[in-house]
Amino acid sequence: MKKNPFKLVVAITGATSGIGKALAKQYLAMGAQVAVCGRSMKNLQEMDEEVNSKDFIGVQADVSIQEQAESFIHTTARHFGKIDVLINNAGISMRALVEDVDIQVLEQLMAVNYWGMVYCTKAALPFIKENKGSIVGISSIAGYKGLPGRCAYSSSKFAMQGFLESLRIEQLKTGVNVMWVSPGFTASNI
Protein backbone atom coordinates (compact mmCIF):
# COMPACT_ATOMS: atom_id res chain seq x y z
CA MET A 1 0.00 0.00 0.00
CA LYS A 2 1.14 3.53 -0.68
CA LYS A 3 2.32 5.61 2.28
CA ASN A 4 -0.31 8.08 3.46
CA PRO A 5 1.47 10.88 5.34
CA PHE A 6 -1.84 12.09 6.82
CA LYS A 7 -2.78 8.82 8.51
CA LEU A 8 -1.25 7.57 11.73
CA VAL A 9 0.05 3.99 11.46
CA VAL A 10 -0.19 2.01 14.69
CA ALA A 11 1.23 -1.49 15.24
CA ILE A 12 -0.16 -3.36 18.26
CA THR A 13 1.08 -6.70 19.52
CA GLY A 14 -1.25 -9.18 21.17
CA ALA A 15 -4.31 -7.34 19.96
CA THR A 16 -6.97 -9.96 19.34
CA SER A 17 -8.46 -9.54 22.83
CA GLY A 18 -8.44 -7.37 25.92
CA ILE A 19 -6.54 -4.08 26.03
CA GLY A 20 -4.91 -4.59 22.62
CA LYS A 21 -8.20 -5.20 20.83
CA ALA A 22 -9.81 -2.20 22.53
CA LEU A 23 -6.86 0.00 21.49
CA ALA A 24 -7.02 -1.25 17.89
CA LYS A 25 -10.73 -0.44 17.64
CA GLN A 26 -10.22 2.99 19.19
CA TYR A 27 -7.38 3.88 16.81
CA LEU A 28 -9.44 2.72 13.82
CA ALA A 29 -12.37 4.85 15.02
CA MET A 30 -9.97 7.83 15.14
CA GLY A 31 -8.97 7.23 11.50
CA ALA A 32 -5.61 5.50 11.99
CA GLN A 33 -4.26 2.60 9.97
CA VAL A 34 -3.81 -0.33 12.35
CA ALA A 35 -1.80 -3.53 12.20
CA VAL A 36 -2.20 -6.13 14.92
CA CYS A 37 -0.56 -9.43 15.58
CA GLY A 38 -1.64 -12.48 17.49
CA ARG A 39 -0.87 -16.18 17.65
CA SER A 40 -4.34 -17.36 16.61
CA MET A 41 -5.26 -17.05 12.94
CA LYS A 42 -8.89 -17.72 13.89
CA ASN A 43 -8.92 -14.76 16.28
CA LEU A 44 -7.23 -12.54 13.68
CA GLN A 45 -9.81 -13.49 11.04
CA GLU A 46 -12.67 -12.84 13.47
CA MET A 47 -11.23 -9.44 14.31
CA ASP A 48 -10.76 -8.62 10.62
CA GLU A 49 -14.44 -9.43 9.98
CA GLU A 50 -15.50 -7.47 13.06
CA VAL A 51 -13.64 -4.25 12.18
CA ASN A 52 -14.14 -4.64 8.40
CA SER A 53 -11.74 -1.86 7.41
CA LYS A 54 -9.24 -1.32 4.61
CA ASP A 55 -7.13 0.43 7.26
CA PHE A 56 -6.67 -2.82 9.22
CA ILE A 57 -4.38 -5.80 8.83
CA GLY A 58 -3.92 -8.79 11.11
CA VAL A 59 -0.65 -10.72 11.06
CA GLN A 60 -0.19 -14.11 12.65
CA ALA A 61 2.89 -13.89 14.85
CA ASP A 62 4.18 -15.16 18.16
CA VAL A 63 6.29 -12.27 19.45
CA SER A 64 8.34 -14.60 21.64
CA ILE A 65 9.91 -15.87 18.41
CA GLN A 66 12.30 -13.18 17.13
CA GLU A 67 11.77 -13.88 13.42
CA GLN A 68 7.98 -13.70 13.77
CA ALA A 69 8.14 -10.49 15.82
CA GLU A 70 10.41 -8.87 13.24
CA SER A 71 8.21 -10.14 10.40
CA PHE A 72 5.16 -8.47 11.99
CA ILE A 73 6.98 -5.12 12.12
CA HIS A 74 8.32 -5.38 8.56
CA THR A 75 4.94 -6.52 7.20
CA THR A 76 3.29 -3.51 8.84
CA ALA A 77 5.85 -1.08 7.40
CA ARG A 78 5.59 -2.64 3.94
CA HIS A 79 1.78 -2.65 3.95
CA PHE A 80 1.22 0.89 5.24
CA GLY A 81 4.52 2.47 4.18
CA LYS A 82 5.55 3.52 7.69
CA ILE A 83 5.05 3.00 11.41
CA ASP A 84 4.27 5.90 13.72
CA VAL A 85 3.36 4.08 16.94
CA LEU A 86 4.30 0.68 18.33
CA ILE A 87 2.25 -0.57 21.26
CA ASN A 88 3.87 -3.59 22.92
CA ASN A 89 0.79 -5.16 24.43
CA ALA A 90 1.32 -8.92 24.01
CA GLY A 91 1.47 -10.58 27.37
CA ILE A 92 0.71 -13.64 29.40
CA SER A 93 0.42 -14.12 33.14
CA MET A 94 0.84 -16.80 35.77
CA ARG A 95 -0.09 -17.54 39.36
CA ALA A 96 2.13 -19.81 41.41
CA LEU A 97 4.52 -19.62 44.30
CA VAL A 98 8.20 -19.59 43.35
CA GLU A 99 8.77 -22.95 45.05
CA ASP A 100 5.94 -24.54 43.04
CA VAL A 101 6.34 -23.04 39.57
CA ASP A 102 8.03 -24.89 36.72
CA ILE A 103 11.06 -23.10 35.22
CA GLN A 104 9.61 -23.46 31.70
CA VAL A 105 6.60 -21.37 32.78
CA LEU A 106 8.94 -18.61 33.94
CA GLU A 107 10.95 -18.79 30.70
CA GLN A 108 7.82 -18.64 28.50
CA LEU A 109 6.44 -15.67 30.39
CA MET A 110 9.69 -13.73 30.00
CA ALA A 111 9.87 -14.76 26.33
CA VAL A 112 6.46 -13.22 25.58
CA ASN A 113 6.28 -10.28 27.98
CA TYR A 114 9.89 -9.10 27.85
CA TRP A 115 11.68 -10.54 24.82
CA GLY A 116 8.65 -10.06 22.56
CA MET A 117 8.69 -6.37 23.46
CA VAL A 118 12.45 -6.18 22.85
CA TYR A 119 12.25 -7.91 19.45
CA CYS A 120 9.39 -5.69 18.22
CA THR A 121 10.90 -2.48 19.60
CA LYS A 122 14.32 -3.14 18.10
CA ALA A 123 12.79 -3.94 14.68
CA ALA A 124 10.46 -0.91 14.76
CA LEU A 125 12.95 1.66 16.07
CA PRO A 126 14.25 2.78 12.64
CA PHE A 127 10.67 3.37 11.39
CA ILE A 128 9.68 5.14 14.61
CA LYS A 129 12.78 7.37 14.49
CA GLU A 130 12.07 8.33 10.89
CA ASN A 131 8.62 9.60 11.89
CA LYS A 132 9.48 10.87 15.37
CA GLY A 133 6.87 8.46 16.64
CA SER A 134 6.13 6.64 19.85
CA ILE A 135 7.01 3.32 21.44
CA VAL A 136 4.66 2.19 24.19
CA GLY A 137 4.79 -0.74 26.59
CA ILE A 138 1.67 -2.00 28.30
CA SER A 139 3.01 -2.81 31.73
CA SER A 140 1.24 -3.27 35.05
CA ILE A 141 1.17 -2.04 38.59
CA ALA A 142 2.94 -5.38 39.21
CA GLY A 143 5.93 -3.79 37.45
CA TYR A 144 6.47 -1.52 40.44
CA LYS A 145 6.05 -3.97 43.29
CA GLY A 146 6.64 -7.70 43.31
CA LEU A 147 3.45 -9.59 44.07
CA PRO A 148 3.27 -13.00 45.77
CA GLY A 149 2.31 -15.72 43.36
CA ARG A 150 3.21 -13.47 40.40
CA CYS A 151 7.03 -13.68 40.45
CA ALA A 152 7.56 -14.05 36.71
CA TYR A 153 4.81 -11.61 35.75
CA SER A 154 6.17 -8.91 38.06
CA SER A 155 9.72 -9.61 36.91
CA SER A 156 8.76 -9.32 33.25
CA LYS A 157 7.08 -5.97 33.83
CA PHE A 158 10.04 -4.67 35.89
CA ALA A 159 12.29 -5.70 32.98
CA MET A 160 10.03 -4.05 30.39
CA GLN A 161 10.00 -0.79 32.30
CA GLY A 162 13.78 -0.81 32.78
CA PHE A 163 14.34 -1.43 29.07
CA LEU A 164 11.92 1.29 28.02
CA GLU A 165 13.28 3.79 30.53
CA SER A 166 16.81 3.24 29.19
CA LEU A 167 15.55 3.57 25.60
CA ARG A 168 13.67 6.75 26.47
CA ILE A 169 16.88 8.34 27.77
CA GLU A 170 18.84 7.18 24.71
CA GLN A 171 16.22 8.70 22.38
CA LEU A 172 15.73 12.04 24.19
CA LYS A 173 17.19 14.12 21.36
CA THR A 174 15.73 12.16 18.43
CA GLY A 175 12.08 13.14 18.82
CA VAL A 176 11.06 9.56 19.65
CA ASN A 177 8.59 9.25 22.53
CA VAL A 178 8.99 6.20 24.76
CA MET A 179 6.55 5.39 27.53
CA TRP A 180 4.82 2.63 29.40
CA VAL A 181 1.31 2.45 30.79
CA SER A 182 0.65 0.53 34.00
CA PRO A 183 -3.05 -0.28 34.34
CA GLY A 184 -4.42 -1.77 37.51
CA PHE A 185 -6.77 -4.72 37.37
CA THR A 186 -8.62 -5.00 34.08
CA ALA A 187 -11.45 -7.12 32.76
CA SER A 188 -9.48 -9.13 30.19
CA ASN A 189 -8.57 -12.75 29.60
CA ILE A 190 -5.07 -12.33 31.03
Return the closest-CA partner of residue 134 out of 10, 4, 6: 10
Query: Is position 144 annotated as part of the catalytic site?
Result: no
Give the number of other CB atoms < 10 A from CB of residue 104.
Answer: 8
Residue 3, amino acid: K
Return the closest-CA partner of residue 37 out of 10, 66, 71, 14: 14
Return the closest-CA partner of residue 150 out of 189, 105, 118: 105
User: DSSP label at 105?
Assistant: H
Sheet with 33-38: list strands edge to edge: 56-60, 33-38, 9-13, 85-88, 134-138, 177-181
Which residues are within 8 A (CB) of 55 and not within 5 positions of it... i.e. 6 or more apart? 7, 28, 31, 32, 33, 34
Catalytic residue among 27, 114, 119, 153: 153
How many angstroms separate the CA atoms of 84 and 48, rounded? Answer: 21
Catalogue the active-site residues.
Answer: 153
